[in-house]
Amino acid sequence: MVRLTARARLALLQTTLVLAAGAALTGLTYLLTRRRTLYTQLDPSGSDPRGTLELTPPRAEGLRDLADRVQADTLSALLPQAALALVVVTGLAAVLGWLVAGRVLRPIRVISATARRLSAENLTERVPVTTPADELSALSVTVNGMLDRIQRGVAERDRVLDSQRLFTANAAHELRTPLTTARTAIDVTLDGDPSRAELLTMAGDVRGAVEHMQRVLDGLLLLARSQAGLRAREPADLAALATAALDAAGARAAAAGIAVRPELRPAPVSGEPVLLERMIGNLVDNAVRYNRTGGHLVVDTGTAGGRAVLRISNSGREIAPEEARTLVEPFVHGQGTRVRTDGLGLGLSIVRAVTLAHRGRITVAARAGGGLDITVDLPRSPG
């Protein structure tokens, strides 16, 4: 079965309409011509119905015969000429219909050609918008909008895939490093006849490596749990959680000579207290760990604009604004690079995951003179 193109179907439809209209017009002309004859103006008696002309019966009969012949000749000449004219008009309609259909469908062909040229590597091309503004130009605008959304989606997908690949590589590196340390300690110690002291040293190295792997795995599990969403919500207060975190880090802060200035006002929220506690604990821990001797740490909680706000500001080394934005990525410790430390590089990434799980926002900004200013705001609990 032959499948006609849209252009052929549109031209065929236009030609059919012209043919049908021409045939109807020819039939109507034939009927009107047949009825409009001379003898219809005469009554059977041969007199003029208007009373202005009197005809004898023989003369009236002759006029009727003449009218019959004129009618027959007219009708016999009308049909062939009308059929010829109809054929010519139908042919012209077919040609014009084909040309008009091609012009009307040209924007659609442009859209199709553009779509065929597009690929995941080439999403920058757009369909030209025709004038005047009609249905086809609206279609072009709609297609361009769809391509914009696809391009943004592909870019976001690539960004996520790159981030996942980097995260996987860094996680593998973090786990492989203690394994290598443990294996090296075992191989070196057992290469010969180790003494008890050497075995104890080896056991300490292996224990440290295992503890490091455990911290990495705990951080990864908490990060995954945060990204999976909240399973239950309970009332909590950021001020109370911050107080507990400061108490836990108080000894380390005092040992480093860090002046802690809490400014804690009630900040009620609804969420998972365990995740919120870990979020604030990580922020305080990072603020103490990456501070400088004799520095300061300010922890502020409260409400603003119907949201609960937690702000932690600390002194420390100079950090570029671009570098500050990368610190919430997993395994990043500065300069946008993965550096192994006791912090594992998961602290701020867990903070961001917990914040997003609670429909909150996090802002990380570099402070003039060194250190960071981190603000977390969460929806305030209605209670």
pLDDT at 166: 64
Whether the bond into 128 is cis, omega within 30 of 0: no
262: preceding bond cis by omega (within 30 degrees) = no
Q: Where are the domains of the chain?
A: 6-117, 159-226, 232-379
Residue 41 has what pLDDT? 46
Is the CB of residue 140 less than 8 Å from the CB of residue 130? Answer: yes
User: CA separation (Å) from 317 to 255, 287, 290, 342, 377?
Assistant: 19, 12, 8, 18, 25
Question: Of 331, 330, 312, 329, which Cα lies nearest the Cα of 371?
Answer: 312
Q: What is the pTM of this model?
A: 0.52
Give the whole-angstrom CA distance, residue 370 versus residue 320.
Answer: 9
CATH 3.40.720.10 fits 232-379, yes or no: no
Structure tokens at 223: 């990060």
Predicted confidence at residue 170, as pLDDT, reads 65
pLDDT digit string (tens) for 162-206? Answer: 766 766 776 677 678 788 888 888 988 888 888 888 889 989 989
pLDDT at residue 38, as a whole number: 42
Q: Give the mean pLDDT per block of 10 residues along the chain (383 residues).
A: 79 90 87 61 48 57 71 77 88 90 82 75 76 77 85 80 68 78 87 87 89 76 70 88 93 93 94 87 90 93 93 91 75 47 60 86 90 92 72
The predicted pLDDT at position 262 comes to 94
Q: What pLDDT shows up at residue 272?
A: 85
Q: Are 331 and 167 in contact (CB under 8 A)?
A: yes
The CATH number of 159-226, from 3.30.420, 1.20.120, 2.60.120, 1.10.287, is: 1.10.287
Radius of gyration for the alpha carbons in the chain, expressed in angstroms and rounded: 45
